[in-house]
Amino acid sequence: MLQVHREVCARIPTALGEFQLCLYTNNLDKKEHLALIMGEVVGREDVLVRVHSECLTGDLIGSRRCDCGEQFAGALESIAAEGQGVLIYLRQEGRGIGLRDKLHAYNLQDEGYDTVDANLILGHQADERDFTAAPLILGDLEIASVRLLTNNPAKIEALRSLGVPVSSRVAFASAVNPENARYLQTKVVRMNHFLNLSDRTRPNGGAAGPSEDPPD
């Protein structure tokens, strides 16, 4: 059974304000998951939460092949705007297939395969992520319920099945560019993401702000 342990937290001042960064280890592997926390969240309900899976190419390098970096930055901006919230950063690169095979998948996508078929050709599932650590981290922070920043219905279902009280969904509006257009379309058509791509191309590459859905 997975268990997580909060090893250390430190104050992280940023352009958006001050966060606490907490590092969590677990008893099953060497992955170190993170929580970026702003404001007082202990015991609070309807805390704005983003459960973000690691994407080195998008989060760090700023790759335009996906919308991961945009979602990461947008989540922090939304949390800062409210003055309270948590971004959980799970170390599961490439929807769980790892960086090496993610790069192989990129090469297959350049040959014409979409992101789902590329993963399947490499012997993986379309999405191999495991969100089990997220509710354990939320439990450690004693968060009573969350407003989840996501466009992915499978993530909502996964977290609810693990006992996370998701009171509502806060949507992202991802900007479309020539490099990520097919990727985003695949998210909609083959992975059932809540995305309206009809008016998402913006001259400055930005995206519309988040919007919130009522509980379902």
Of 50, 129, 147, 169, which one is the catalytic site residue? 129
Catalytic residue among 46, 64, 65, 127: 127
How far apart, in whole angstroms, are the C-alpha atoms of residue 8 and residue 146? 23
* 129 a catalytic residue: yes
The dihedral built from the CA positions of residue 140, 13, 53 and 158, taken in this order, carries a sign that is positive
What is the signed CA dihedral for 171, 185, 193, 128, rounded to 10 degrees?
A: -120
Q: Active-site residue 127, yes or no?
A: yes
Known catalytic residues? 127, 129
